[in-house]
Structure 1
Amino acid sequence: MICRRKFTFVGIYLAVLSMFVFLSTYPSAASVLLEDQTWTELRDLIKSGTTTIIVPIGGVEQSGPAMALGKHNVRVKYLAGKIAERLGNALVAPVISYVPEGSIDPPTGHMKFPGTISISDKIFEQLLESAARSFKLHGFTTIVLIGDHGGYQADERLVADRLNREWGNTPARVFAALEYYEITNGAYVEKLLSSGAKSNEIGTHAGLADTSLMLAIDPSMVRMDRILAAPKLGAADGVYGGDPTRSSAEFGQMGVDLIVNGTTDAIREFIANRRRPQ
């Protein structure tokens, strides 16, 4: 009996170990992240039709005392991954986390709060352009910019328009998918209101909508104990136009679904329009 139990235990252990080794041998198989691929794996993916690259743009900024500084980076990476999975022929570039957040001297906007990092619009646009040129060089034909923060949406459009004019006689195009951000201010707000949230709770920054999205994606980034403690958070704390007290992962998941589905549809439409005869 003892020998049989030992044999069974050893068999199970070896089976689990073998499965772990097998899965770890192919880390890129289930990953849509560019940085998880080797260069040869990437080359083969592009040759086989994976020619769309999503460039997620985040930022490091204050989001009140109850939400971590890296909110935008975590959120845009997660959502970009979901969008790429839905597209089926796309990869996700590393997150661009250094973005315009206001002037430094004197500090404006979020720069008045410790931890916020800002660069100029010019440097930001050059960064986007250099990344896009790199992707074009290696064979990507659709380069999608998605930004999680409102302050640089116009920069995304400027870069896309500029490169598309330059690349007019090539297969490569840049798509500034502004729908990604617009959904958070439109369809997501409407969905929250129809689901019981109040307009004075939703907010424009670190309110119910913003906080709920983070709870659905990574609750470790949210300090619910601080949200529920008195006094209520307000503008002096970096929470603008809303109240995060009733934030929930359920509210947030509504936004996740809308953003992923809406952005995926917009990217597909952009690609389809390029293929139609002019």
Structure 2
Amino acid sequence: MRTRLMVLLTMPLLAASASAQATGGTGGAGGAGGGAQAAQRQAAANKPRTIDGINTVWLEELTQPEFRDMIKDGYTTVLVMTGGVENNDGNLQMNKHNINIKLLGEMMARKMGKTLVAPLVTLEPGNAGANIQPGRAGPMLSQATYAALLFDMGNYLRSMGFKEIYYMGDSGGNGRGMQSAADSLTKVYADSPDKVSFKHIPEFYNHTSVVQPYIQNDLKIPEGIKIGASTGTSGLHEELGIDATMALADPQSIRFAQRVKAGQAEINGIKFESLKWLQDLGRKVADLRVTTAINAITAYRATLPKP
């Protein structure tokens, strides 16, 4: 009886899957059907816009005609920003990296000009394992799934008309998948007449290499964390530069008010003088991170063949 029930439940799913495959699926271009219906949709996609667009760099916030016209206007660079959900101890939200990439992704796109930001990749790679750990941070994706996701995103962005596709991550574990996707796509399209660049920019992940020296050496703020480390004297996976950019984006993400109330508005021996003080530092750190990444992109662009 149970076997028969499972077969009955599965049959509609198989039929739907077969139907989707026959028509090219419901989410892609193939879902439009053929003949007159496809021509109708194509005509609608090419119609001139009748309303003004909005000022955004976020791909997902555009209408299709707005995006179409931006591509024609040279918006052919896109940023694939990767974050994650992980254990950041007691003061920071688990989506720390996602808060940073949303802030910095928009800053980068606007500073670069004619650049858009793809939908954020908000999960990072990690292994679930067999054990149940109530309250464990996550969720995460396997490395294979993560690399495949980034490959598919880059490939689809290519099909949308982008010519330069840059992968940047705020979490150290993301680098392997981003590099794999960029390298694989570069090989696949090496002989394509449509020249598209896929590039991982590791310089964006610069918490320890750029931000920590800047805070301690340039700003002379004696944070109790060794340059290159992710944990300081507070014993937490937290540091001043990250607190500052998160506070700039959303003070609640670092539980600023709650920490002030509890007398814990500090990290690694540095007391937060005020929210304004922390946000001012956040602006400096954000500008530094963005400039560092853009400089790396500019250097890479200089190696590309001239059109």
* Same fold? TM cut 0.5: yes
Judging changes above 3 Å, is the alpha-carbon distance between structure 1 residues 230 and 48 closer, same or farther for their aligned structure 2 residues? closer
Q: Which structure 1 segments of 5+ residues have no match?
A: 1-24, 234-241
Q: Tell me the distance in 2 between the aligned counterparts of 1:217 and 1:231.
A: 20
Deviation of residue 232 (structure 1)?
9.8
Could you tell me whether the CA contact under 8 Å between 1:51 and 1:140 is conserved in 2?
A: yes
Question: What corresponds to 2:66 in structure 1?
Answer: 41
Judging changes above 3 Å, is the alpha-carbon distance between structure 1 residues 168 and 39 closer, same or farther for their aligned structure 2 residues? same
* Structure with bigger gyration radius: 2
Percent identity of equivalent pairs:
25
Judging changes above 3 Å, is the alpha-carbon distance between structure 1 residues 148 and 113 closer, same or farther for their aligned structure 2 residues? farther
- Check if 1:187 corresponds to 2:217: no
Judging changes above 3 Å, is the alpha-carbon distance between structure 1 residues 190 and 75 closer, same or farther for their aligned structure 2 residues? same
Q: Tell me the distance in 2 between the aligned counterparts of 1:275 and 1:158.
A: 23
Q: Tell me the distance in 2 between the aligned counterparts of 1:155 and 1:63.
A: 22
Deviation of residue 196 (structure 1)?
2.9
Q: Tell me the distance in 2 between the aligned counterparts of 1:105 and 1:224.
A: 36
Judging changes above 3 Å, is the alpha-carbon distance between structure 1 residues 112 and 118 closer, same or farther for their aligned structure 2 residues? farther
Q: Tell me the distance in 1 between the aligned counterparts of 2:55 and 2:150.
A: 27
Candidates 169, 174, 191, aligned match of 1:169: 191
Judging changes above 3 Å, is the alpha-carbon distance between structure 1 residues 173 and 76 closer, same or farther for their aligned structure 2 residues? same
Deviation of residue 217 (structure 1)?
2.5
Judging changes above 3 Å, is the alpha-carbon distance between structure 1 residues 42 and 52 closer, same or farther for their aligned structure 2 residues? same
**Secondary structure of the corresponding residue to residue 260 of structure 1:** helix
Q: Tell me the distance in 2 between the aligned counterparts of 1:250 and 1:209.
A: 11
TM-score using structure 1 length: 0.78
Structure 1 segments of 4+ aligned residues over 6 angstroms from their partners: 230-233
Taking CA–CA contacts closer than 8 Å with sequence separation of 6 or more, which of the two structures ends up with the larger relative contact order?
Answer: 1
Question: What corresponds to 1:271 in structure 2?
Answer: 301
How many residues are aligned here? 240
Deviation of residue 231 (structure 1)?
8.0
Deviation of residue 250 (structure 1)?
3.0
Counterpart code for 2:160: H
- Greater shift, 251-260 or 116-125, is seen at 251-260
Judging changes above 3 Å, is the alpha-carbon distance between structure 1 residues 200 and 106 closer, same or farther for their aligned structure 2 residues? farther
Q: Tell me the distance in 2 between the aligned counterparts of 1:244 and 1:35.
A: 41
TM-score using structure 2 length: 0.71
Across the aligned residues of Structure 1 and Structure 2, the Cα RMSD in angstroms comes to 2.5
**Secondary structure of the corresponding residue to residue 220 of structure 2:** coil
Q: Tell me the distance in 2 between the aligned counterparts of 1:88 and 1:146.
A: 17
Q: Which structure 2 segments of 5+ residues have no match?
A: 1-50, 231-236, 273-277
Counterpart code for 1:177: I
